[in-house]
Structure 1
Amino acid sequence: MNYIWSSIAILIGYLIALGLKRLLHTMSTSKELDAKRLFYIQKVFELLLVLAVLIALVFIWSVDIKGIAVFASSIFAVIGVALFAQWSILSNITSSIIIFFTFPARIGDTIRIVDGENSIEGIIIEISLFQIELRDTQNNTLLYPNNLLLQKPVIKFATPNEAQNI
């Protein structure tokens, strides 16, 4: 019976993965997002889905959770210390997912990140898991962390087509 339930759990995970892939592809097409951004977001969701299926399989097979819990808590303690030491990495990845779904600017748009005297302006060249890459008027490359991008006001300058529609 466990084999049947395991097969069902894996099949459901696979179907959810297909649905998520289609949904993310549809969203990225409608927002005209870069394929590299879509790839990063898909990998994050695939990892979460694999973890969910593995947890389901542990319950289906009634694996002794005490031994796994001790092992997992040890691993999570080490990971927690590492992530606390490098909190900005996790923060940037989380920010990247938020930017994927909500950020109105795309590659090729001109933006200004307002930060008082330290404001920067440029054309978006790349949006990755950790940073946004801008090119300024002097052709310099500027890298700005995703987590800071969500904390600062951003001005998106209208393109000529957008200006005509106003």
Structure 2
Amino acid sequence: MAGKPADHRDVHIGSLIEERRLRAGLSREALAAPLGVSLSQLGKYLKGANRLSATDLDVVARIIGVPVGFFFEDMPGRDLPSPGFGDRPQARLEIQAGWTDFAQAVARAADAHLDEERRQALGSLVRAVDQALSGQQPFDKANDSGPSD
């Protein structure tokens, strides 16, 4: 099964590779050898006729001395970058039945395995986290004694 056909992004990446190869004074042979491809295949990559794998793109980036992200900067057709995995806003934690079941399981385990002092400490910790998440009271080290009920 063949991969996806090359498109304008592959042309962009190929032209950047060729530009950097020439700047570095590398021959086509010096670039093709570490990739284990023929000069003909390398030419197809450089023209954007064939798509480079992520692994090969990493090898090329190392050879020409650029980070892999270099190839995607100023990519034509990208008006606004969509958020990456780490750029997505954090989803708000909502109360769900699964959390209730989990809390009940923790309470049962605490009753079965912890002495009174440790159960009280765990209870204080859970109340402090609950209050911090619900915005009732700031959660900080100065407030480690638990709520004053």
> TM-score scaled by structure 2?
0.23
Instruction: Find the structure with the greater CA-based Rg.
Output: 2
Pick the structure with more strand per residue. Answer: 1
User: Normalised by the size of structure 1, how large is the TM-score?
Assistant: 0.21
